[in-house]
Chains A and B, each alone.
Chain A
Amino acid sequence: MRFKTALLPVFLALAFISCGKDNSGAGTGRPASVGLDRNGIVCALAWSQMSDQAKARVSLLYPEGLSSVAATLEDYLAIDKYNAYVPGLRKMNMNGRYFYDPNPTQAHGGDCLRGLRFAHYYLSHLDRFTLPDEELYFYHALLVNMVLDIHNLSLPALAPSGSRWTDSEGNDLMDTVCSEAFGNFSLSGILLSIGNLSADEAAGITAKSFEEWAQENCSASAGLASAPERQVRTAVQKAGYRLAYLFNLYYGGTL
């Protein structure tokens, strides 16, 4: 009896780790990635870089996997108090020289940098707030979406025209190129190709400020026309490593 009791934490830990592995971050547990969207790839990469402690926490909160988090934001938009400002955050502007520019959006609800700072503030200060479940899940959903947005090369609109990168059918060019860049790879192949950074290289990506993330996205968006696949792969890679960094910060015992 005592033997079983002593082993219980070990069993639990193994269960969490096993649960995490089954999730593989992609949410559905599917082995290959044909048709895997940008959210799925970013979340799978993030999952591969998360600490066991952070994985355990995320698995408890999201049994369907990390990639299920982003979609939950839709549910919150039906609630007035969230719908009042969340749609306003899903944009970004740059000037003609591809410099991030908060001015055109400031009077219209801000942009994804504001949204990212907002979600990060609560999640990095969970000790100060007794958040009801509804809000905790909301901040996760907002965070994941803002990380995806701030690494979306199609998102920065050129002021004053407001034009964005789209393909010939008007679809978001980032997602189109992403499908082309990763469409023929298995999930493990994708992770091998973009999830193999050294510790120093990864630290170089995660050490930058949110503001620098925004600036990088605007600068890189200039290359979406000339070297789309390379730019998209880099942006997806950064998003994955940075999302992992944030979840490790909140739940990995490093905060």
Chain B
Amino acid sequence: MKSLRYIILCAAALAACQNLGAWGSTGHKIVAELALRQLGTGASARISALFPDGLAEEASWADQHRHDEEYAFTDSYHTMAMNHDYAYDPGWRMWRGGDCVTGLHFVDYNLRYRSRLDLTDSVLIFNIRMLVHIVGDMHCLAHGYIMPEENHWDCTFESETTTYHTVVDKIPSRIYKKVTAADAAASLDTYTDSQKQECCSGSFEDWAQECCLRDKVMYEVNPLYTAELAPDTIERLTPAAQEALRVSGYRLGFLLNKYFNN
């Protein structure tokens, strides 16, 4: 009886883990793999030394620990808000401790000035784990909330009761279910050098604004509170999701090069 209870508990925990993560573990891994493809020799060596199991394996760490007491302050860094005109709007999440942009400013400062701050390797690793995840989450279509509504409303999709947020989060794992994250990243790595440079310019606030405009398609396909999602939701959101993964990977690579490629 005890072992049955244990199995049920394990199954429940596993199920919960499956729901963790904005892009799901697949999306975050693809972003990390795409970033790794952009790294210079110095940055690549430093990241490999800090993450011997691979950066992609760490990409969802921030989701798994966001409710730990020690890291609870990072819980608000996974999402951001926008107004009904799709303008990035930080005010809605300020009282909760900030948003993706707040989190990015924080880890960016720590990583740029790790020497003057005397960061230990474990703190450095924490900041990189957060960076990898926050950059991914910022670009996740479902993580820009039109406030005061969010996008967790109950709905039906493919005859199952779910939430719109969950459906959108799972897009990468549906598109790339038959390929590895590294192969998916290779297929997304199509920008020219000048395109990469352009997409990595601007401030974090500019990136957030661009993401909010990309998120708009989500609400064009299924307006707020749609009870039964359009059957072609995945197909219609796939181009935007792929572009979000691509841009996210380039930006993460750009930041890692900035910090470690010297």
Mutual binders A and B = yes
The answer to whether B105 and A85 touch across the interface, beta carbons within 8 angstroms, is: no
> A34: shortest Cβ distance to chain B, in Å?
39
Given the complex of chains A and B, what is the CA–CA distance between A135 and B91 in angstroms?
10
Q: A121-B205, A211-B109 are in contact. Are A84 and B90 (CB under 8 A)?
A: no
Q: A106-B106, A117-B105, A121-B90 are in contact. Are A95 and B118 (CB under 8 A)?
A: yes
The answer to whether A106 and B73 touch across the interface, beta carbons within 8 angstroms, is: yes
Q: Is B102 an interface residue (CB 8 A)?
A: yes
Given the complex of chains A and B, what is the CA–CA distance between A106 and B107 in angstroms?
11
The answer to whether B102 and A84 touch across the interface, beta carbons within 8 angstroms, is: no
Contact residues of B between 57 and 112, Cβ < 8 Å to A: 72-73, 83, 85, 87, 89-91, 94-95, 97-98, 102, 105-106, 109-110
Q: Is B13 an interface residue (CB 8 A)?
A: no
Contact residues of A between 93 and 135, Cβ < 8 Å to B: 95, 97, 99, 101-103, 106-107, 109-110, 114, 117-118, 121-122, 125, 128-129, 135
Q: Residues of B contacting A2 with CB < 8 Å? A: none
> A103: shortest Cβ distance to chain B, in Å?
7
The answer to whether B106 and A102 touch across the interface, beta carbons within 8 angstroms, is: yes
Q: A85-B94, A121-B205, A125-B87 are in contact. Are A99 and B113 (CB under 8 A)?
A: yes
Instruction: Give the contacting residue for B91; candidates A95, A122, A211; CB below 8 A.
Output: A122
Given the complex of chains A and B, what is the CA–CA distance between A122 and B85 in angstroms?
15
Q: Is A4 an interface residue (CB 8 A)?
A: no
Q: Residues of B contacting A135 with CB < 8 Å? A: 91
The answer to whether B95 and A81 touch across the interface, beta carbons within 8 angstroms, is: yes
The answer to whether A110 and B95 touch across the interface, beta carbons within 8 angstroms, is: no
Q: A97-B116, A101-B117, A103-B117 are in contact. Are A110 and B102 (CB under 8 A)?
A: yes
Given the complex of chains A and B, what is the CA–CA distance between A236 and B95 in angstroms?
30
Residue of A with least CB distance to B94: A85
The answer to whether B97 and A129 touch across the interface, beta carbons within 8 angstroms, is: no
> A120: shortest Cβ distance to chain B, in Å?
9
Given the complex of chains A and B, what is the CA–CA distance between A99 and B113 in angstroms?
9
The answer to whether A84 and B95 touch across the interface, beta carbons within 8 angstroms, is: yes
> A73: shortest Cβ distance to chain B, in Å?
15
Residue of B with least CB distance to A139: B91
Given the complex of chains A and B, what is the CA–CA distance between A254 and B181 in angstroms?
46
Q: Residues of A contacting B106 with CB < 8 Å? A: 102, 106
The answer to whether B95 and A103 touch across the interface, beta carbons within 8 angstroms, is: no
Given the complex of chains A and B, what is the CA–CA distance between A107 and B85 in angstroms?
31
Looking at A81, A106, A114, A125, the one whose CB has the most chain B CB atoms below 10 A away is: A106
> A211: shortest Cβ distance to chain B, in Å?
7
Q: List 20 A-B contacts (CB under 8 A).
A: A85-B95, A95-B116, A95-B117, A99-B117, A103-B117, A107-B72, A107-B73, A107-B97, A109-B97, A110-B98, A110-B102, A114-B98, A114-B105, A118-B90, A118-B94, A121-B205, A125-B87, A128-B87, A129-B87, A129-B89
| Interface residues in chain B, defined as those with a beta carbon under 8 Å from any beta carbon in chain A | 72-73, 83, 85, 87, 89-91, 94-95, 97-98, 102, 105-106, 109-110, 113, 116-118, 205
Given A102-B109, A110-B102, 19 other A-B residues pairs in contact with their CB atoms under 8 A: A95-B116, A99-B113, A99-B117, A103-B117, A107-B72, A107-B73, A110-B98, A114-B98, A114-B105, A118-B90, A118-B91, A118-B94, A121-B90, A128-B83, A128-B87, A129-B83, A129-B89, A135-B91, A211-B109
Q: Which 3 A-B pairs have the closest CB atoms?
A: A107-B73, A84-B95, A128-B87
